A and B are shown apart, each in its own frame.
Chain A
Amino acid sequence: MSDPVTPLNHARFDGYVTIAEAGPTGMITLRGDLADPHLSETLHGVIGAGVPARGRAEVIGDNTICWMSPDELLLMAPRSYVPDALARIASAMGDRHHLAADVSDARAMIRLQGRALREVLAKLSPADLSPAASPPGTIRRTRLAQVPAAILFQGPDRADVLCFRSVARYVFGLLSNAARPGSEVHRTAGAGNPEQ
């Protein structure tokens, strides 16, 4: 097998926020009864943490569990671990109703780094992305301009955007365009100085 080709070939744009493709990352869609303690136990065994709260992501070392909907999680782990993780989920869940599928190649992951990353995202998403509404550890499913996306707030200066693979270049273009130097939004722009 060749090395997997990522959707953006590690593209990078240095604007007032840095936009760069992250990954490849292993991803598993897991649907099931999130209230079932057995599912939580299974996750502890496979990934190292249980079911996150609504709208939250749990990061444990190289692994992340994201809450995607009331019956869906997204597990992120190194790609090499995915087959093993799927096998372990299947054996631990047994006959319990669930769906686990490898979706490592279905999405692009784009990393935003810089203090103004929330501002860049706010040019494209109607969601409230302020630190108060979306503190680090939040995963926010929303849209960026015309396509669906999820934003994982990793820390004050870092967020990861997940979008479908086919629109990776569109989303990368959107983010780069929004982060163009000269388009910064200053909180008090022009307040004291009309020449600004």
Chain B
Amino acid sequence: MTEEIIIAGFGGQGVLSMGKILAYSGIMQDQEVSWMPSYGPEMRGGTANVIVIVSDERISSPILTIFDTAIILNQQSMDKFEKSVRPGGVLLYDPNGITRHPVRKDITIYQIEGAQLAAEMGNTKIFNMIVLGAFLKVKPIVLLENVIKGLKKSLPERYHKLIPMNEDALTMGMKNVVCSNSLN
């Protein structure tokens, strides 16, 4: 199994940390992982994106142009990365703030109302965990228990009290992801 993912959105949405948690979860189940961020001026207030690869085998290139899954969290990233999904692949996006929705017919498109659900849960910071939950429902490449283990490993001890809330957010994402087109 090799899953090649791009996560793209605004700086501050938790794009990079979502990728990091996903990568840590892969390590928890003995997989190879790579996490390659865009870095530099792009990070400061503009777009942020990260390529995450989770695989059973040694990973070759950490830099890719075609992905199995694109997780898209703003319009600029939609414009840039809709075309980068492999035919038969998955595009997952939050429709909040999207005016030009994806149109491709050769990929499966999913929506998650991440921003809205986070607001309803009373904490906008768990937005990225809702989206991660949605992704893991569509592509269960890592087990939920390993995500929790990964969180424990990547968060300093003083934040461990926040783990149940993150778990709720993951579950919320899993429950609320909807397919907005169907290949069949």
Bound pair (A, B): no
